[in-house]
C-alpha cells in the first residue's frame, strides 16, 4: 500500500514521475480526501501537494501517520503551520528553482503594462494601426520602483530593474544587506509614497492579507502601477478596482488573483489591467525542477534522510 498520497492536477511529466516513484494513490483535490477509506489514509506518511486549498487540522488528522506535506511551489500559506508543528508534521516547498522565472515575468509584466503592449498587439491585429495606432505609452527605464518583500524573488526582481537604471526602494521586516543606493522604507505606505511603480513579491497568508490598501494605492499616485506576482490575497481587490476606475493609479499587472481561476471580471476587464493566469513558474525547465525537488523531499523522508527544503514551523 502506498505511503504517499498525491494531491492536485499535475502536468504529465510530474504525474508520471510521482506515480513511478511513489505509486498511484492520488486525488485531484484535497477536498476529495473523504473519498478514500480510513485504512488507506492511515498508511499515508507523505502528501505531495499541488493545491491552494486549506490544509488544516481536519485534513492532517485524517492521516494519523502523516509526517510530511511536500508543497509544489514556493508558497505554503494554505498550510496551517502551527497545526502541522503540533502534530510533528514537516512541511517542504520548492524555493530557489523558480526565482528566475517569477522575477523575469514580473519585469516583463511591468514593461508590457507601461509600454501598452496588449493595446499595441490589438491595434495591429484589428487593422487599427492604419488609422493611427494606439496612444503614446510610458517610458520604463529610470523610474523609481518599489519592492514589497525583499526575499529571493523580490531581490531577483530588484536586480533586474536596476539594470534598467531604476531607483530601487524596498520594504521588508527589517533592512537587508543590499547594493549601495537601494532605499529601505519602514512601512508599505512609506514605500508607496516614494516610488512610481510597486512590485508585490511578499509571502501570502493571514499576515499579509489586504496589505495593499486604498491608502497605499492613493500614495502610489495617478502615474503609478501595481505589479503583483505574490498572492491575490495581498491586495484588497475592491480597493484596487476602485482605484483603477477612478484613475487613482494608472494601471496594474496581475499574475495572481483572489478567486483563481475565476477572478473578478470587474478587475480583469479593465483596459488598464494586464491580467495573466498565474504563470510565474510556468516554463518547462522550472516546472521540471520544482517537481524534482518535491519528489526529492519525499524520497528523503522515506529514506530517513534530512529534508532538502523544510519550511520553518515556528
Catalytic center residues: 231, 260, 278
Q: Give CA–CA dist 168/158, Å, rounded.
A: 7
Q: Give CA–CA dist 25/45, Å, rounded.
A: 12
Helices and strands: H and E segment counts in the chain: 12, 12
Q: Give CA–CA dist 10/14, Å, rounded.
A: 6
Pick the closest to residue 46 from 75, 23, 76, 70 (CA basis).
Answer: 70
Grid cell at residue 113 = 503594462
Pick the closest to residue 203 from 73, 13, 298 (CA basis).
Answer: 73
Pick the closest to residue 196 from 118, 136, 251, 116 (CA basis).
Answer: 251
Helix 12-22, helix 284-302: angle, nearest 10: 10
Give the total residue count for the chain: 314
| Contact between 261 and 231 (Cβ < 8 Å) | no
| Contact between 140 and 264 (Cβ < 8 Å) | no
Rama region for 162: left / alpha / beta (φ>0; ψ in -120 to 50; rest): alpha
**Element containing residue 18 per DSSP (H, E):** helix 12-22
Amino acid at each position: 500500500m502506498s505511503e504517499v498520497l498525491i494531491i492536485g492536477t499535475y502536468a504529465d511529466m510530474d504525474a508520471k514521475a510521482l506515480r513511478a516513484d511513489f505509486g498511484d494513490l492520488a486525488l485531484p483535490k484535497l477536498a476529495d480526501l473523504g473519498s478514500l477509506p480510513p485504512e488507506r489514509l492511515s498508511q499515508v506518511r507523505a502528501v505531495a501537494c499541488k493545491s491552494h486549498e486549506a490544509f488544516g487540522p481536519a485534513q492532517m488528522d485524517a492521516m494519523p501517520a502523516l509526517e510530511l506535506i511536500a508543497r509544489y511551489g514556493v508558497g505554503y500559506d494554505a498550510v496551517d503551520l502551527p497545526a502541522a508543528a503540533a502534530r510533528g508534521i514537516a512541511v517542504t516547498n520548492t524555493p530557489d528553482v523558480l526565482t528566475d522565472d517569477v522575477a523575469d515575468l514580473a519585469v516583463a509584466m511591468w514593461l508590457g503594462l507601461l509600454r501598452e503592449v496588449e493595446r499595441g498587439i490589438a491595434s495591429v491585429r484589428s487593422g487599427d494601426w492604419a488609422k493611427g495606432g494606439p496612444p503614446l505609452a510610458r517610458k520604463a527605464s529610470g523610474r523609481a520602483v518599489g519592492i514589497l518583500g525583499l526575499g529571493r524573488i523580490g531581490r531577483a526582481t530588484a536586480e533586474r530593474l536596476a539594470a534598467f537604471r531604476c531607483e530601487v526602494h524596498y520594504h521588508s521586516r527589517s533592512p537587508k544587506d543590499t547594493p549601495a543606493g537601494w532605499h529601505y522604507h519602514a512601512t508599505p505606505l512609506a514605500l508607496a509614497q516614494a516610488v512610481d511603480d510597486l512590485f508585490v513579491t511578499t509571502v501570502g497568508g493571514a499576515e499579509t492579507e489586504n496589505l495593499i490598501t486604498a491608502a497605499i494605492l492613493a500614495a502610489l499616485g495617478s502615474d503609478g502601477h501595481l505589479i503583483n506576482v505574490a498572492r491575490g490575497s495581498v491586495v484588497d481587490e475592491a480597493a484596487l478596482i476602485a482605484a483603477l476606475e477612478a484613475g487613482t493609479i494608472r494601471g496594474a499587472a496581475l499574475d495572481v488573483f483572489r478567486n483563481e481561476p475565476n477572478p473578478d471580471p470587474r478587475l480583469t476587464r479593465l483596459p488598464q489591467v494586464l491580467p495573466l493566469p498565474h504563470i510565474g513558474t510556468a516554463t518547462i525547465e522550472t516546472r521540471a525542477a520544482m517537481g524534482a525537488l518535491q519528489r526529492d523531499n519525499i524520497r528523503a523522508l522515506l529514506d530517513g534522510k534530512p529534508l532538502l527544503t523544510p519550511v520553518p514551523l515556528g
